[in-house]
Structure 1
Amino acid sequence: MHRVEHVMGFPVSLRVDDEHIPESAADAVFAWLHEVDVRFSPFRPDSEVSRLDRGELSPGDLSADLREVLDLCEHYRAATGGAFDVRLPGRGLDPCAVVKGWSVQRAAELLTAAGATRFCLNAGGDVVAAGGPWRVGVRHPEHADKLCTVLEVTDGAVATSARYERGDHIIDGRTGRPATGLLSLTVVAPTLTEADSVATAAFAMGAEGVEWAAGQPGCEVLAVDAERRVLRTPGFPVAGEDAAAA
């Protein structure tokens, strides 16, 4: 099974190698992601996030899903000393940095519940994989046609935060200025909730975020700093020759 749809502003591709998995499993994955876009997008005036930001909802009115997302946001705000913050002064509430990984991880769990054991779900370059090994390329931060490396993932997730797609869009909440200490930072973790959140939070911290990310449980890190030095934790899973292509 292979399907691609545009959701939440980026392409999402799904490949399932289990022959017995019905198309309805893929339908459920993309229905969930479209639901998340409607409910949590800060760019939709009728979303739950926008209504909360305008003060139309009290904490007791929030869905369990949004409470979970906001709890994750607060966890990473506190863990980074405020560098990662979804409530920046002068800006509306924007939990997208957590919502993306959290929602795609939930989608992967829907596949697992449907009986899928070998699949790759790629959401705008952030990947959840199961039943590998799968080969996942990490884009070079300055050359779109080149890779920094290729890594191997069996069961887990990969996420990259960088400046190459959207410029200096990640803000250091401690200063209110764009985070410019890194060119890119890739995290491999057990779930995409962790990988995506840690990658964004660490990038917001700048150069000091590399060591912080490496210290998070279950996380392996590859970073390119502003001086173009490549930093990599010992356990970062560089691919061998015989992994399947993702």
Structure 2
Amino acid sequence: MLKKFIVIFFLYCITINAQQVFNKTVKLMGCRFDIVVVADSENIADKHIYTAIQEIKRIENLISSWNPSSQTSKINLNAGITPVKVDSELFQLIKRSKKISQLTDGAFDISFASIHKLWKFDGTTINPPTKESIQLSVSKINFKNILLNEEKQTVFLKEKGMKIAFGAIGKGYVADKAKKLLQSEGVVAGIINASGDMNTWGEQPNGDPWKVAITNPMDKSKSFGTLPISNQSIVTSGNYEKFLLMQGKRYSHIIDPRTGYPTTGILSVSVIAPKAELADALATSIFVIGKEIGLDRINQLKNVECIIIDDEGGIHYSENIQINKNKTW
């Protein structure tokens, strides 16, 4: 699942007690990462940022479905054949993914990967997939057919042709893990921003919380509000930049795993949650289940909030969200 970087964050490099904000932008996992740390010097910051980069690369090698030697690829290769023993880290990620699938009634499903070849958003698709081909692919999508053996630490995809991928949760998971590692090394504050999947901790050197601006998807030069974020994650998913125009019709790049067809009605979703992994999965799910059910579901979750912008520019908030609204919207 592809997502564009539409979150803008404001960083204030103010020196207090010799601490400053240091920022490095790199390309990892095929997308833009902004790694921000508060440190006493540039040399110390560079070491911490390097540590985060190595952690991100490590996880990518574990969960990537594009790397033929990864454990994820081995699971896919053995679909319908035999269970695959995996590291505990990957096993637990898949286990949590299944729980989110249950929570969202299948709107989030890591086995959606079997439909990837039908809808391509790289300019190579000329005609929409046939109804028959979509139905065949959807028949392979079912999180209930991801069988986990806790004792043996194995993963088995029950049907041949099934595939799993972590495009709708992987970058959030990586942001969480990189944050946790830097915290363990004594980094007092920072941001891991994986193309809109952002996790924060601590505060700016002047004591202010990090400030995140949510971009207006209908005019990216403007934002409609800012959120103070500290020790929270925020993930923004948007479908207004990556889409297909075929035979006069606009197709979103976010696919409903239950039907195999692109979602409609929503331009962007921002979810605030304790962990980016959960926020990532929920943001994608809301595109699928729609704004009414999506808001209702979010309002039932503790410490989770969201902002939904529909395709007519309407803004919808969860019940307890706190946002400073801009007049430029």
Q: TM-score, normalised by structure 2?
A: 0.68
Alignment-mate amino acid for residue 130 of structure 1 = W
In structure 2, the partner of 1:43 is 66
Corresponding residue of 2:54: 31
- Kindly report which structure 2 residues correspond to 1:40-79, keeping only aligned pairs within 5 A, or say none: 40-55=63-78, 59=83, 61-79=85-103
1:232 to 1:61, Cα distance in 2 relative to 1, 3 A: same
Structure 1 Cα separation of the partners of residues 298 and 241 of structure 2: 22
Output one character per residue of 1:200-228: Cα deviation in whole Å (capped at 9) or x when no partner.
22222222223212322211111112343
1:144-163 aligned at under 5 Å gives the runs 144-163=220-239
Which residue of the partner structure matches residue 184 of structure 1?
268
**1:129 and 2:200 are equivalent in the alignment:** yes
Q: What residue is the counterpart of 1:15 in the other structure?
A: 36
Q: Which amino acid aligns with 1:122?
A: N
State the partner residue of 1:217. 302
Change over 3 Å in CA distance of 1:169–1:214 after alignment to 2: farther
Q: Equivalent residue of 2:253, what SS?
A: coil
> Distance in 2 between the 1:51 and 1:187 partners?
32
The aligned residue for residue 244 of structure 1 is none
Q: Secondary structure at the match of 1:34?
A: helix
Moved more, 75-84 or 88-97: 88-97
Match of 1:110 in 2: 181
Q: Unpaired runs of 5+ in structure 1?
A: 242-246
Distance change in 2, residues 1:10/1:116 (3 Å): same
Task: Decide whether the 8 Å contact of 1:135 with 1:239 is kept in 2.
Answer: no
Q: Percent same amino acid at aligned positions? A: 26
CA root-mean-square deviation: 2.2
Q: Pick which of 122-131 and 56-65 moved more.
A: 56-65
Q: List 4+ stretches of structure 1 deviating above 4 A.
A: 56-60
- Greater alpha carbon shift after TM alignment, 228-237 vs 188-197: 228-237
Quick check: 1:102–1:192 contact (8 Å CA) kept in 2? Answer: yes
Per the alignment, in what secondary structure is the counterpart of residue 174 of structure 2?
helix
Report the secondary structure of 2:65's partner residue.
coil
Residue 198 of structure 1: aligned partner: 282
| TM-aligned CA deviation for residue 110 of structure 1 | 0.8
Q: Deviations over 1:120-168 (max 9, x none)?
A: 2211122111123011111222222222321111221100122023232
Partner of 2:121: none
Deviates more, 1:101-110 or 1:164-173: 164-173
The SS at the match of 2:200 is: strand
3-state DSSP of counterpart to 2:169:
helix
Query: Which structure: larger Rg?
Result: 2
Q: Which string of whole-angstrom CA distances, capped at 9 and with x for unpartnered residues, describes residues 80-116 of structure 1?
A: 1112112135453222211111111010011110111
Instruction: Tell me which residue corresponds to 1:4.
Output: 25
Question: Matched residues in 2 for 1:210 and 1:223: separation?
Answer: 8
Segments of structure 2 that go 5 or more residues without pairing to the other structure are 1-21, 117-162, 204-208, 244-251
Aligned to 2:254: 170
Count of aligned positions = 241
| Residues in 2 aligned to 1:104 and 1:193: alpha-carbon distance in whole angstroms | 8
**What is the SS of the residue equivalent to 1:178?**
coil
Aligned partner of residue 224 in structure 1, secondary structure: strand
Alpha-carbon deviation of 1:178? 1.3
State whether residues 69 and 98 of structure 1, in contact with CA within 8 Å, keep that contact through their aligned partners in structure 2.
Answer: no
SS at structure 1 position matched to 2:32: strand
Task: Give the residue type in structure 1 aligned to 2:189.
Answer: R
